[in-house]
Amino acid sequence: MPVPVFHRRTNVGGVDVFYREAGPPNAPVVLLPHGYPCSSYEFRDYMRHLGEDWRLLAPDFPGSGYSATPEAFAYDFDGFASFLEDFTDTLGVKRFALYLHDFGSQIGLRLAIRDPDRVTALIVQNGDIYEDVLGAKYAGLKDIWKMERAKGLGKLRESISEDHFRDEFLNDVRPELAQRIPPDLWELHWALMTERRQEIAAGIIYDLKDNLAWFPRYQAWLREHSPPTLILWGPQDGYMPEESARAWLRDLPEAELHLLDAGHWLLETSVAEAVDLTRDFLRRVHSRV
């Protein structure tokens, strides 16, 4: 049965942080870092249907959603990984299954590299750590990454708009699926984008090019630790097509891969299927979670 999702705030290293929580406080934890240009909002329905047996925690990163946007914060992948570490420490969470989606994949894996024993299982959903299978939508970004930083940031800053947010959320899904993706996603998140947040977003997107150098490190961690892994993938994704999903099996050959009739934001169109697959997976690895 669906359970309530609680909307809470806490202080993490001096930063006012908003997060969503569902499930019993003593249950095994599933940590849900969000992607761009979203927030913990992306997990709202997923959490309601899994909270009977697990404690689900979805924070808004600093500079996103309803969390604060402090000046004294490192808005890069290491900074966000440190934030996740501090967030779980603040809530007294020692171990957790980790949901990897969008740029939350790289952030979550940096956290895993820091302390592998904390990660009990992975749920991978449209997260990119294999450069040779990046989708066609990366072509425009690669052109910007060739630019000198100031020029590249300027180009990105010009492109960050409400229409850009809409395109990001609709991505390459079929028209009938697009009608099932609520406009709340881009309307809500664009309304929260201050000038400062737009600058931060441009910087993160530009610095994605430096994150590519970390891809082999992420892959090596997967090979070394081989955590139980469920891969849920929406192949209608211009950034991360089906080939990007199958690439994870190079380093996690025992992982379970499920290709859904969905795109990058599959929790908007295929949440029931995602919940069923996740519930079955977590029940089987429960002793390790």
120: Cα within 13 Å, side-chain hemisphere? 18
Domain count, the chain: 1
Q: Is residue 184 part of a domain?
A: no
Overall pTM surpassing 0.95 (yes/no)? yes
Type of residue at 236: Q
Q: Is residue 220 part of a domain?
A: yes
3-state helix/strand/coil string of 188-204: HHHHCCCHHHHHHHHHH
Bridge pairing between strands 119-125 and 256-259: unpaired
Q: Is residue 95 part of a domain?
A: yes
Q: Is residue 160 part of a domain?
A: no
Q: Which residues, other chains included, contact 38 with Cβ-Cβ below 8 Å and sequence gap of 6+? A: 64, 65, 102, 169, 185, 189, 265
Q: Is residue 148 part of a domain?
A: no
Average pLDDT over residues 53-60: 97
> Is 289's pLDDT higher than 80?
no
* pLDDT band for position 1 (cuts 50, 70, 90): confident
163 alpha carbon, distance to own chain's centre: 21
* Tens digits of residue pLDDT in 170-203: 999 999 999 999 999 999 999 999 999 999 999 9
Q: Is residue 154 part of a domain?
A: no
Identify the CATH number of the domain in which residue 106 sits.
3.40.50.1820
Spatial distance between the Cα atoms of 110 and 108, rounded to a whole number of angstroms: 5
Q: Is residue 164 part of a domain?
A: no
* Tens digits of residue pLDDT in 229-250: 999 999 999 999 999 999 999 9
* Tens digits of residue pLDDT in 266-286: 999 999 999 999 999 999 996
pLDDT of residue 286: 62
* pLDDT band for position 224 (cuts 50, 70, 90): very high
Residue ranges making up the domain that contains 12? 6-135+214-288
Q: Is residue 244 part of a domain?
A: yes
